[in-house]
Structure formats: structure tokens, C-alpha cells
Amino acid sequence: MEPLDMERRVIEAAEALARSLGNDPNHTVAAAAMDTNGRIHTAVNVFHFTGGPCAELVTLGVAATAEAGPLVAMAAAGDGGRGLISPCGRCRQVLLDLHPDILVAVPTVAGPRMRPIAKLLSDTYFFPDTQAKRVFSFNRRYYDAVVSGRKTSSVRWDEQIAVGPAIFYFEDDAECPPLRGEILEVQRYRLSDLTPERLRLLNGEATEGYLEGLQRHYPAMPPDAFVDIVDFQVIPSGLDHASMNS
């Protein structure tokens, strides 16, 4: 997918830091990452023959020091005008384990593109004990409906959604702060089996119209795809997750 404006800021931050690197062979790659509050954290690699950390991993430490929480976008760039570069296999595994919902910028012939980390490391081992915080992303146009409780479900295709606490992140809009929420249930259906009831449609809205909009949102979705209907709720301020389940 093409980068949103906020994701382009991440790419630009990584590339700007990479351009500032001198001729020190120990620091040759820069990385930048954005948290759910729109803050950008940057760092460089530390090359060493014993296996010094990549810029992406140093950036994770910098972000953790700043109490950034889960990260939503990352980019890395090389010195000497190399521009945007893809993460190595180790970085992909760490990102998948610690920030499973992050989007990573990769170079393509059509320019920078954002890829879900799970797509960069498919069919891999997932370390179960990381206790990674999850992020559930929305288009910013849904902010008011989610905050007010009018919208409590969403249909997703080819996304990794897990039941449990999550940060609701509204893409590309710093004026829509993240919300604490919870994924209550994920139900999977084939497109042909969707009904107005399963889609939570109100006021007589037709299934056909909804599916046309879903196809525009996911242009690569095949006609026989399975989709997930995700039920969720916003956790009111001051109410922790434990009390929600007591």
C-alpha cells in the first residue's frame, strides 16, 4: 500500500538521518519509527563483528526508553545515498514478535510501499511470551463513530486480528488520539455467506452496497475470500482491562 502522509514522515526522518551520517563505518544505517501518538523515534545501527544491532533494533530501544508503547510504522535508510532499505531477517522476526501490527516501508520500482510485518515474514515462528501490545487501525473518518459507540464492529480481510486489549489507532490524523479498547470477538465468513445481520447493517442497508465498498477498500480481495467480522468496544477512561472482565 502507498504510504499515508504520516508514514511518509517516518520515511523522510529515516532518510534525513541517513544523509547526516559521515564516513564512520560503524554507523551506516538510520531508522525511524512512529508510535500511536504520532511521535517519531530515530536511531542508527552499531556495526560490530560480534553482531552489533541494526538501526531498527536500536530504534526499538530508543522508543521503549521514551515509553512509546506499540509502534505503527518503521523505515530504514542507508548512508551514501542508498535510500530506503528493507529490514533484514532478524529485524523482521523481532518486529513481528514485539510489534505485530507495525507497517514497514520497503523500496519498490513504484516507490516506497508499506507492508504489514506479517507479510514480510510469513509462515514464521511467533514467540508466544512477548506480551506484545496490539494495535487495531481505523480510517480517521470513523473516529467520532468509534468514540461515541455508534460503531462497534468492522470487517477486515487478510489482517491479523487477535481477541483482547488493543490500542485503537486512527491512521494519518494527529488530531484523532488513540483510544484504549478491546477486541471482543472475531468471526470468519466467506464473502458469499455474509448477511445484513452478520454485517451488523442497520436501517435497511443492502449487503451488495456494503460489499462493493469493501472491495474498493481491499482491491486485491478475491471474490471467494474469507473475511473477519470484528466486534470491539472502547474502554472508558479510568476503567482498566481487569475491571472490564470482573
**Which active-site residues does the annotation give?**
56
Beta carbons within 8 Å of 106's beta carbon, 6+ residues apart: 84, 86, 112, 113, 114, 115, 120
Q: Residue 193: beta bridge partners?
A: none
Q: Can you tell me the distance from the alpha carbon of 106 to that of 84, in angstroms, rounded to the nearest whole number?
A: 7
Nearest to residue 33, comparing CAs of 82, 80, 66, 78? Answer: 66
Q: How far is CA 106 from CA 56, 74, 111, 113, 174, in A?
A: 13, 10, 9, 5, 23
Q: By the 8 A CB rule, do 42 and 14 touch?
A: yes
Q: Can you tell me the distance from the alpha carbon of 174 to that of 225, in angstroms, rounded to the nearest whole number?
A: 33
Q: At what angle do helices 89-98 and 55-65 cross, to 10 degrees?
A: 30
Q: By the 8 A CB rule, do 124 and 115 touch?
A: no
| H/E element, 165 | strand 164-171
What 3-state class would DSSP assign to 207? helix
Q: Can you tell me the distance from the alpha carbon of 211 to that of 221, in angstroms, rounded to the nearest whole number?
A: 11
